[in-house]
Amino acid sequence: MLPMNEYDASTGIRADQWLWAARLFKTRGLAKQAIEGGKVTVNDGGCKPAKLVHVGDVLQVTRGAERLEVELLAVSAQRGPASAAQALYRESAASVQARALRREEQRLIGRQAPPRRPDKHARRRLRDLKDQSAP
């Protein structure tokens, strides 16, 4: 029998636990929420938090505007340093290129200031507009 934190490549590991150990999500709870929300797929199919993932499986993970496609290289239930976590998976070349392109687009667009509050005159126009539309 294997100790709790060591897995044979043939046994697999829970998807939420692997995502946490690979540092794709900060907590297992966040990994579970992402899976339940449909943000994670395994081998182009659905996924549940308790689904066993094995070496060679391909996961598509969406985190905000970021979309990753990773292949499992190893399984681990223990969260280690970032260098060890990166050894658990390999990101596809297309995924790396798409993320770089998106990052470059965001850099070119720049940060836009949030819209400001309406000034005195704009507030009066809004109030008049609302008064006109009220029955």
- pLDDT digit string (tens) for 77-88? 899 999 999 999
What was the pLDDT predicted at 114? Answer: 67
The answer to whether residue 122 sits within a structural domain is no
Q: For the whole model, what pTM was predicted? A: 0.73
Q: Burial, 81: exposed, middle or buried (Cβ in 10 Å; 0-12, 13-18, 19+)?
A: exposed
User: Among 97, 92, 46, which Cα is nearest to 69's?
Assistant: 92
**Domain hosting residue 42, numbered range:** 13-111
Domain CATH for 99: 3.10.290.10
Q: What is the rounded distance in angstroms from the CA atom of residue 16 to the CA atom of residue 39?
A: 12
Q: Say if 128 falls within a structural domain.
A: no
Q: Is the pLDDT of residue 49 over 80?
A: yes
Question: How many beta carbons lie within 10 A of that of residue 125, not counting itself?
Answer: 11
- pLDDT reported for residue 78: 92
Residue 111 has pLDDT above 90, yes or no: no
> Taking 70 as the threshold, does the pLDDT of residue 10 lie above it?
no
pLDDT in tens, 91-108: 999 999 999 999 898 888
Residue 13 has pLDDT above 70, yes or no: yes
Residue 42 counted as domain residue: yes
Q: What is the mean pLDDT of residues 46-74?
A: 93
Can you give the C-alpha Rg of the chain in angstroms?
22
CA distance 40 to 69: 10
Is the pLDDT assigned to residue 37 strictly greater than 60? yes
Does residue 46 sit within a domain?
yes
In a domain, 74, yes or no: yes
Q: 3 pLDDT exceeds 90?
A: no
Going by their DSSP bridges, the two strands 40-42 and 58-63 should be labelled as antiparallel
Q: How far apart are CA 33 and CA 16, in angstroms?
A: 9
Asked if residue 68 is part of any domain, the answer here is yes
Q: Is residue 123 one of the residues assigned to a domain?
A: no
Region 15-27: what's the mean pLDDT? 95
Q: Is residue 124 part of a domain?
A: no
Q: Over the chain, what is the mean pLDDT?
A: 88
132: three-class secondary structure by DSSP: helix
Structural domain total, the chain: 1
